[in-house]
Structure 1
Amino acid sequence: MKKDKRIAYFSMEIGIDSRIPTYSGGLGILAGDTLKSCADLKVPVIAVTLLYRKGYFYQKLDDAGRQIELPAQWTPSDFLELLPDKITVEIENRNVTVQAWKYNLKSVDENYSVPILFLDTDISANTDYGRALTNYLYGGDEKYRLAQEIVLGVGGVRMLRKLGYTDIKKYHMNEGHASLLALELLRENKRSEDVFNFDEVRNLCVFTTHTPVPAGHDKFSYDLVRNVLGEPIPLDVLKTLAGEENLNMTLLALNLSEYINGVAKKHGEISREMFPGYPIDSITNGVHPYSWAPESFRKLYNKYIPGWAKDPFTLRYIISIPKIEIWNAHMEAKIKLIDYINKESNTGMDYETFTIGFARRASTYKRAGLLFFDVDRLIDISKKAGKIQIVFAGKAHPKDIPGKELIKGIFECTHRIKNDIKIVYLENYDMELGKMVTSGVDLWLNTPLRPREASGTSGMKASLSGVPNFSVLDGWWVEGCIEGITGWSIGKKSIEENSDEKDAQDLYKKLENIIIPMFYKEKEQWLNIMQYCIAFNASFFNTHRMVHEYVLNAYLE
């Protein structure tokens, strides 16, 4: 293994392939897309994450919409190479042995690769407790979570050293879960027994925050920290870095990072308000173009825009491509999705009906049920403006009871109006299904409570296939929405305007008067919008542009 990597990218979850279930949703898939673009652009990165033997979970849904969580079934050796090297970390005053599996993530042209290290504690040398630490992503209690973050942050740095990566210039913490790596770097960079080189560590660290609300940041009581982590640095020093009352992982990263960023312009503003005094920049997220373009669009782009996968900014040339070919590529993706739906369910959807997609984590702030705020109005719109059918997907966290109730509520609505509107809720939303849904629907719907959507990336994936977005003005859509050109907004931009009723009325009004009539009766105008989605949004909201920004702003010394 060549030891020429200069940037170490740490993330609690990384999604690179739906068959490797080490991700739960947006954060992990973004990490995977970032690393894919690093490979394409030959950025000298090595990544560190954990190997979850039982994954996040495999989702089954019964007829009433009750979510059943099953362990994800997979065999690491089918995809990863087990390395012989081992390190230890101390958890609850016991040594836990950690091994690493390696995955070489290749560029699209296969001329460069980014190694990803998956840390694993399921080793016979460990106790049953130690072996189980890397079983589940986001499983267990606070103690389990802190122990996992020790394996990631402390264990990750030690594994890099063990493998000979001694010339790392930047450590990129993708969210606060990885913040303990900074404590390990402090330990390594002591000036003397009790004098820490804070400036040296700050110069090494980059931190990306993805959380737009205070409650979303990991916090651990100092009693728990003392019992599980010990005292890597004196408690009074730790409190100045991570907060007086609890160890706040975000504060720790903020205080020990030279470059800090949010993941969209609006999210940067929210983060600066949440953490005044910190120089928080913003780099808007993106998606990996080649990974998320369906086969029909890959063929189209290859035909007319050779080199698009390496330079997605060239997708703006879509304007010169015959619109009928864009429509044909879209219909190929739509037929694939509808065929899959009809195979998996008895919904009986058809190819010609206007299809709305809503697929993301089943969390109440995402407001998946907003479309059903006034069911009679929705049915009326479908009868008067034009037929609609709706595709839902998404997992609720096993402990998120309101999220699970949300799924059940959609099922109830589905049964209630099945004679008027066909609705399906697809189970076990993963990367493969995500690509099929984002590319195969006619309209991508997003209705979060403002300002809870730090960025959002599913709408960017839809844009790669010319699917217009219809979304609340939050996250990336504040930048991506050109009203009536790349899609449509829902409600006001202001945070204070979080009214389900007002947002629902605006949603219904635009569906009835603008969007559905355009789809059925003004096909030329609809095709213009599909072109603009690709030209304006797919060409910009991609991880190639995003990685360029990280290199220029965060990685270059």
Structure 2
Amino acid sequence: MNPAVLDDFLRTPRIAYFSMEIALESAIPTYSGGLGVLAGDTMRSAADLELPLVGVTLASRAGYFRQEIDSEGRQTEHAARWNPDEHALPLPAKIAVNIDGRDVWIASWLYVIESQIDGSVPVLLLDTDLPENSAEDRRITDALYGGDAEYRLQQEIVLGMGGVRMLRALGFRVERYHLNEGHAALLCLALLRRIRWTERPGQHARSPLYNVDEVRGLCAFTTHTPVEAGHDKFPYELAERLLGGWTDMALLRELGGEQHLNMTMLALNLCGYVNGVARSHAEQSRRMFPGYRVHAVSNGAHPLTWTSPGFRDIYDRHFPHWCHEPEALGHIDTVPDEAVWAAHAAARRALFDFVHERCKVALSDDVFTLCFARRMTGYKRPDLLFSDLERLRCIAAAHPLQIIMAGKAHPHDVEGKRLIEILHRHIADLQPHVPAAYLPGYDMDMAKLMVAGADAWLNTPLPPLEASGTSGMKAAFNGVPSISVLDGWWIEGCIEGVTGWGIGSMQDTAPSHGAILYEKLERQVLPLFYNDRSGWLKVMKGAIRHNAVMFNTHRMMRRYATDAYLRRA
């Protein structure tokens, strides 16, 4: 490796952004879904805005998994292996962390995110696949979210404690630490140990003095989920065995919760700035964790990454600085309708060609296309659209409708896998009245096609379990309106009939959402699409004018910079 590549990033003090997963590109499967994609967009915006961040994540050599779906909708998982040598540079440092009484050695790879505007940021990928380690320890950084509780805690030790040591070994000067979810909370313990040691009166050995306030001044924490299962918890017996002499267990219980080591609680207690990822999520987090101050910084999507080629051309011509200042898209009404529709038609054709190649399903250029793609799990309710198949057939008889779906279920999520099978049965039952396809192997490249090629983007979570959601934000950059349950970001983004349509209201009960969705499709969405092209284009432009302007990671990172990074320690 050319040492100068790393040296370029060592001259400036940095914000260390820790995340278990970061979506760098589709060919590097170090992400499972929204959390990792958001982390990648965060780093891409940091590069565009020339913010001094350094990302820290795991190499995850076996990736999340490669999804295979048979004709019955049964999901099978395969390792999604990738070779860091082909995408990143090895860095000249190795450090060790003690896990269960043994030294586990860690190396790192450098991946550089280059902005197409100006600037770049480094991402470190931590790797235990080293000859110094046992065969078991070499696999610690192998599978993203794989294995049992012990495996997961080992990964979090490598990420948090190992990441802090690696940054120091490489010569990074870190001014703040940003924890993207609780997986990285153990970095705070590493800082507690590192910040100050003192000789206590009457003792010959040096003893640690834990300076919690000083650590809190260095750390910011973003929590991402109101779903209880999304907050990592570990038995203290396991934590004591694996962490060994890293910390005082009495202090750890005080900071991490009495019953078990709750990584969210640990982060809440050791981070001076805490935020949720939408206004409603911040409110929900304050209810879940009373007594803690939780700010709201709504998520976003990276402008250039998620904008289709046709819309990029439009924006480049009319708003030359849009990549740096997405608020310029607020003037989208100055762009002729014909240009907007032509860009959308090109995106639809690219998606339909992909669907035909992948699934052998022929979709029509003239038919309204509804897309749904996200992690397949119960609270996302991917089957809500199919709650009344006969009603759906009747709606499609009056106004033709076609559907494209995609998404992975976690290997251990039995309900999520069952939902994929159910969706395949519904798709088969609707033929030939409602053409539909389920795309296997959902990844970033597929998501780019779907958020641009849809006529409307569907989201049907069970409130209040959607912390934010970002797929609809990506769609907005392509003039694609959302049809979504009012939860997460959509509470802020929905202007009825202007940026899209809300499913129900804050007062409606969840069982009514299916009927409300059908009512919106039948009486508002489909008639507008087929009978009033000018009116439909107003909604497309409304999604750009309001949602793309607001829900982007440039705005998000500027908020983090002023509220979290530049605050007084």
With the shorter chain as reference, the TM-score category is: over 0.9
SS of aligned partner of 1:159: helix
Amino acid across the alignment from 1:294: S
Does the 8 A contact of 1:359 with 1:393 survive in 2? yes
Q: Report the equivalent of 2:474.
A: 461
Question: Quick check: 1:533 aligned with 2:533?
Answer: no
Decide which of 370, 373, 379 is 1:365's aligned counterpart.
379
Question: Quick check: 1:124 aligned with 2:138?
Answer: no
Decide which of 510, 513, 517 is 1:499's aligned counterpart.
510
Decide which of 222, 226, 232 is 1:208's aligned counterpart.
222
Question: Quick check: 1:515 aligned with 2:525?
Answer: yes
State the shift of 1:474 in Å. 0.4
| Distance in 2 (alpha carbons) for counterparts of 1:213 and 1:344 | 33
Question: Quick check: 1:293 aligned with 2:338?
Answer: no
Amino acid across the alignment from 1:188: R
| Distance in 2 (alpha carbons) for counterparts of 1:129 and 1:357 | 42
| Distance in 1 (alpha carbons) for counterparts of 2:460 and 2:355 | 23
| Distance in 1 (alpha carbons) for counterparts of 2:136 and 2:251 | 30
Q: Report the equivalent of 2:434.
A: 421
Amino acid across the alignment from 2:241: N
Alignment deviations for residues 242-295 of structure 1 (CA, whole Å, 9 cap, x no partner): 101101100100001110000000000000111111111010000000000011
State the shift of 1:214 in Å. 3.0
Does the 8 A contact of 1:315 with 1:535 survive in 2? yes
Alignment deviations for residues 295-330 of structure 1 (CA, whole Å, 9 cap, x no partner): 111011111111111111111111111011101100
| Distance in 1 (alpha carbons) for counterparts of 2:349 and 2:545 | 24
Does the 8 A contact of 1:5 with 1:46 survive in 2? no
Question: Quick check: 1:25 aligned with 2:36?
Answer: no
State the shift of 1:28 in Å. 0.3
| Distance in 2 (alpha carbons) for counterparts of 1:32 and 1:108 | 15
Amino acid across the alignment from 1:391: I
Does the 8 A contact of 1:191 with 1:197 survive in 2? no
SS of aligned partner of 1:398: coil
State the shift of 1:521 in Å. 0.4
Give the 5 Å matches for 1:162-173. 162-165=169-172, 167-173=173-179
State the shift of 1:498 in Å. 4.1
Question: Quick check: 1:375 aligned with 2:389?
Answer: yes
Q: Report the equivalent of 2:486.
A: 473
| Distance in 1 (alpha carbons) for counterparts of 2:381 and 2:509 | 11
Give the 5 Å matches for 1:272-311. 272-311=286-325
Does the 8 A contact of 2:193 with 2:208 survive in 1? no
| Distance in 1 (alpha carbons) for counterparts of 2:430 and 2:38 | 36
Does the 8 A contact of 2:107 with 2:126 survive in 1? yes
Identical counterparts, % of pairs: 50
SS of aligned partner of 1:133: coil
Alignment deviations for residues 411-456 of structure 1 (CA, whole Å, 9 cap, x no partner): 0111111111111000000000000001001010000000111000
Question: Quick check: 1:150 aligned with 2:189?
Answer: no
Amino acid across the alignment from 1:475: G
State the shift of 1:335 in Å. 0.4
Q: Report the equivalent of 1:104.
A: 112
SS of aligned partner of 2:246: coil
SS of aligned partner of 2:383: helix
Question: Quick check: 1:134 aligned with 2:145?
Answer: no
State the shift of 1:194 in Å. 3.8
Does the 8 A contact of 1:353 with 1:388 survive in 2? yes
Q: Report the equivalent of 1:196.
A: 210
State the shift of 1:191 in Å. 4.5
Amino acid across the alignment from 2:514: A
Q: Report the equivalent of 2:191.
A: 185
Q: Report the equivalent of 2:203.
A: none
Decide which of 228, 235, 257 is 1:243's aligned counterpart.
257
Alignment deviations for residues 456-502 of structure 1 (CA, whole Å, 9 cap, x no partner): 000000100000100000000000000011000002214xx4423x1
Decide which of 385, 390, 398 is 2:411's aligned counterpart.
398
State the shift of 1:231 in Å. 3.7
Q: Report the equivalent of 1:339.
A: 353
| Distance in 2 (alpha carbons) for counterparts of 1:214 and 1:424 | 32
TM-score between the two structures when normalised by the length of structure 1: 0.98
| Distance in 2 (alpha carbons) for counterparts of 1:498 and 1:215 | 23
| Distance in 2 (alpha carbons) for counterparts of 1:549 and 1:399 | 36
State the shift of 1:195 in Å. 2.1
Alignment deviations for residues 60-82 of structure 1 (CA, whole Å, 9 cap, x no partner): 11000110111113221111001
Alignment deviations for residues 91-126 of structure 1 (CA, whole Å, 9 cap, x no partner): 1111110000001111122x3110000000001110
State the shift of 1:190 in Å. 2.7
| Distance in 2 (alpha carbons) for counterparts of 1:319 and 1:173 | 39
SS of aligned partner of 2:139: helix
Amino acid across the alignment from 1:554: A
SS of aligned partner of 1:90: strand
May I ask how many residue pairs the two structures share in their alignment?
551
Amino acid across the alignment from 2:492: E
Decide which of 524, 539, 543 is 2:534's aligned counterpart.
524
| Distance in 2 (alpha carbons) for counterparts of 1:249 and 1:498 | 32
State the shift of 1:346 in Å. 2.3
SS of aligned partner of 1:170: strand
Does the 8 A contact of 2:463 with 2:510 survive in 1? no
Does the 8 A contact of 2:481 with 2:540 survive in 1? yes
Alignment deviations for residues 367-405 of structure 1 (CA, whole Å, 9 cap, x no partner): 000011000000000002x10000000000001010000
| Distance in 2 (alpha carbons) for counterparts of 1:455 and 1:216 | 14
| Distance in 1 (alpha carbons) for counterparts of 2:289 and 2:359 | 47
TM-score between the two structures when normalised by the length of structure 2: 0.96
Amino acid across the alignment from 2:559: E
| Distance in 2 (alpha carbons) for counterparts of 1:123 and 1:487 | 51
Amino acid across the alignment from 1:173: L
Question: Quick check: 1:553 aligned with 2:559?
Answer: no
SS of aligned partner of 2:403: strand
Decide which of 62, 78, 96 is 1:54's aligned counterpart.
62
Does the 8 A contact of 1:449 with 1:498 survive in 2? no
Moved more, 229-238 or 543-552: 229-238
Does the 8 A contact of 1:455 with 1:474 survive in 2? yes
Does the 8 A contact of 1:214 with 1:274 survive in 2? no
Moved more, 224-233 or 298-307: 224-233
| Distance in 2 (alpha carbons) for counterparts of 1:128 and 1:19 | 26
| Distance in 2 (alpha carbons) for counterparts of 1:12 and 1:498 | 35
Q: Report the equivalent of 1:266.
A: 280
Distance 1:350 1:506, change over 3 A: same
SS of aligned partner of 2:178: strand
